[in-house]
Amino acid sequence: MQRDEWKNDELYVSIVEDLLSTDLVQSMANYTQHHNSTRLEHSLAVSFDSYQIARRANLDYRSVARAGLLHDLFFYDWRTTKFDLGSHAYIHPRVALRNAEKITDLNDMEKDIILKHMWGVTLARPKYRESVIVSLVDDYEAVHEFMQPFKKRIIARLKA
């Protein structure tokens, strides 16, 4: 996804604008995610790409867009903060869900999307196809964001 491509989709914007207007969601811009993006940039990419897939597949794209934006709504550095109750992969979806519930009402699908987006790393199986989409897109975006600087260096060397 181009960083600002989502801004040109009026339907998508109308679905998430109330969330984007909150201080809690905007504060994700203050946290680095996957080394080369902010948590807000990452969440927007997951949300918008998942929304596009769900819309094309005639699935609940509204729930996908909203939960995709909120799936990483936590406020600690996951590289340094450790928990006694479990790994970051287990804990942060629960923290994100609690934080999301502070700013909006969530339907059952949105809750499942947020809680199960680490499927594969955790054993919590998604209940909905929409949850699987967000989980897979989250993985894709994480790899893409991490690899982007390497890709730029390789392309620059090939052009030299």
Distance of CA 104 to the CA centre of its chain: 17
**What confidence score (pLDDT) does residue 18 get?**
98
**What confidence score (pLDDT) does residue 51 get?**
98
Mean pLDDT of 7-22: 97
How much of the chain, in percent, has pLDDT values that exceed 70?
Answer: 78
**What confidence score (pLDDT) does residue 87 get?**
61
CATH superfamily of 5-159: Hypothetical protein af1432 (1.10.3210.10)
Domain boundaries, the chain: 5-159
DSSP single-letter state for residue 87: -
Structure confidence by residue, pLDDT tens digits, 70-98 = 999 987 665 565 555 656 555 788 889 99
pTM over 0.75? The answer is yes
Residues 6+ apart with CB under 8 A from 129: 57, 59
C-alpha distance from residue 8 to each of 3, 4, 13, 30, 136 (Å): 11, 8, 8, 24, 24
Higher pLDDT, 66 or 92: 66
Mean pLDDT of 121-145: 88
Contact (Cβ atoms closer than 8 angstroms) between residue 134 and residue 67: yes
pLDDT band at residue 143 under the 50/70/90 scheme: confident
pLDDT band at residue 33 under the 50/70/90 scheme: low
Mean pLDDT of 125-138: 95
Mean pLDDT of 55-75: 95
